[in-house]
Structure 1
């Protein structure tokens, strides 16, 4: 049963960790930067860190380069409480991802270095070494499927997780620059979605999977009817529609003054899953995820900006939202 699995509060997270650089102070353009804020990044690592802040256990499966950037990421994972026993160092020309993004909304610039990405070197052997019985659920984001051997390794992890009774939680997280072609991405992400129990994506991502921007909502509804137990269809400032048990739940957002557009999806996932793991009603868990997203975009950094339970409760207590869906 999904709720029983999530109640274990032990998550296996597959995907990248990286280094984030952002010009400091906020609103500084990269081209004008003299100093940079440095922080841990990478969608999967951010989710894992967010879950730990809510009292969950999170273990990361990925590869990092055997150099100063990879070692930095290992240290950051330790500081955020993320178990890295399944994080492997790789040598050669492979490099840990580096993101340079601005803490500004207007004319926001993000540059992500993914050439010869170390995390794409995750292999079948790496995922087969995991003790899946120690976890309650598996989480991943679409980036892991963009290249081999990571793609095949992650599909193998899905198989092993299912065999161990773990639900699969999938953040579509489509990033065109990582993929060889849109056709390959649509096929692979659709395969991953069909194997997943919880799917989270935005309207553009579901539209992409459906092959037509206007058919995204239908794609999300179809996945909920035929394979997934919960599908969250995010619509930015318009809130979200969640499909589960034949029902459609509409939720709003918590408006804030954003200082950047990055990190919202990762924080939403952490807050949403933490809420479900605590046994909260589905609508409540979605709104908590939405509040987490708002908190993160209102502060510099991604992993550093993710709230803990006390910070989330204070935000919910003082914010007049959410908006009506």
Structure 2
């Protein structure tokens, strides 16, 4: 659950009111996919309380399946983010003590008919602690065995991990089971246990293992490495309201475009456009564009140059 200081520009400590929204990287990506008209389900856990029920209600509102969301009794809690809509000195306060989503179990994973889905999309948050870590790695194995595309957004958040070394080892195991790997230059460097150059070399090497790596570089755009070749893309310049949500929007529109059988280059372009749209609007999940909104944006903005 996201709580945004309202109106935009307000500092959280001075806010008289907050606006609610579905949150979390997986929730945002699912909302973006649903906005594209795709059938999407979330595999996660929520707490048996008002915040958990809020999330379930939001999933229903967006048309996201919750049949694989487990409601947990006990002392775990659905995560809460208190944040702001401003580009300078943005404050984000996350409450993730005993987070319900990190209690994803292998039992839940075994109940998922992965062969009924075209893709399994996961974020690094799910790998940060057990039992979710082992359950997520098992989900990747089952999905690949079922012929389902496996996609990981590295989404490395240092505060979630005991150490960078443990994160790197876990990510390497996950990358082995993935078909598409998405991350920024800092994240690939962590996985490579080295510098940005080491991370770039790691991303480049994945194409020889029949994987696709999307190496994001912020304002410098992204590099894409695949078995079919490599290319570079820029970003769409917009007046941003906030720094959050770009990666989730990119992933959602990237995958929706691939599902529509567009080329990888066109999918990257549409993902980049969606990222620009979301950072220029209020909220993350509520700002995810529909295909029509994305098309309208692209008609008004020229393709970015690398």
Query: Is the TM value for this pair above 0.5?
Result: yes
Q: Aligned-pair distance for 1:227?
A: 4.6
- Structure 2 CA distance for aligned equivalents of residues 209 and 284 of structure 1: 28
- Structure 1 CA distance for aligned equivalents of residues 261 and 107 of structure 2: 35
Q: Aligned-pair distance for 1:322?
A: 3.1
1:96 alignment partner, one of 78, 86, 108: 78
Counterparts of 1:225-236 in structure 2, within 5 Å, are 225-228=208-211, 230-236=212-218
Residue in 1 that maps onto 2:183: 201
Does residue 185 of structure 1 match 2:167? Answer: yes
1:219 alignment partner, one of 198, 202, 205: 202
User: Does structure 1 retain, via aligned residues, the 8 Å contact 2:144–2:177?
Assistant: no
Q: Matched residue of 2:287: which SS? A: coil
Counterparts of 1:40-119 in structure 2, within 5 Å, are 40-119=22-101
Q: TM-score, normalised by structure 2?
A: 0.98
Q: Aligned-pair distance for 1:247?
A: 1.4
- Structure 2 CA distance for aligned equivalents of residues 249 and 153 of structure 1: 34
- Structure 2 CA distance for aligned equivalents of residues 97 and 172 of structure 1: 19
Residue in 2 that maps onto 1:12: none
User: Does structure 2 retain, via aligned residues, the 8 Å contact 1:225–1:246?
Assistant: no
Task: Pick which of 110-119 and 242-251 moved more.
Answer: 242-251
Q: TM-score, normalised by structure 1?
A: 0.92
Does residue 254 of structure 1 match 2:207? Answer: no
User: Does structure 2 retain, via aligned residues, the 8 Å contact 1:194–1:227?
Assistant: no
Q: Aligned-pair distance for 1:212?
A: 1.2
Does residue 266 of structure 1 match 2:251? Answer: no
- Structure 1 CA distance for aligned equivalents of residues 32 and 228 of structure 2: 30
Counterparts of 1:110-189 in structure 2, within 5 Å, are 110-189=92-171
Q: Matched residue of 2:37: which SS? A: coil
Q: Unaligned regions of 5+ residues in structure 2, if any?
A: none
User: Does structure 2 retain, via aligned residues, the 8 Å contact 1:127–1:153?
Assistant: yes
User: Does structure 2 retain, via aligned residues, the 8 Å contact 1:196–1:227?
Assistant: no
Residue in 2 that maps onto 1:323: 304
- Structure 2 CA distance for aligned equivalents of residues 70 and 131 of structure 1: 24
The 4+ residue runs of structure 1 with deviation greater than 3 A are: none
- Structure 2 CA distance for aligned equivalents of residues 183 and 48 of structure 1: 30
User: Does structure 1 retain, via aligned residues, the 8 Å contact 2:240–2:279?
Assistant: yes
- Structure 1 CA distance for aligned equivalents of residues 181 and 90 of structure 2: 28
- Structure 2 CA distance for aligned equivalents of residues 126 and 291 of structure 1: 35
Q: Matched residue of 1:21: which SS? A: strand
- Structure 2 CA distance for aligned equivalents of residues 192 and 254 of structure 1: 31
Q: Aligned-pair distance for 1:129?
A: 0.7
Residue in 2 that maps onto 1:5: none
- Structure 2 CA distance for aligned equivalents of residues 32 and 63 of structure 1: 32
Q: Aligned-pair distance for 1:213?
A: 2.4
Q: CA RMSD in A?
A: 0.9
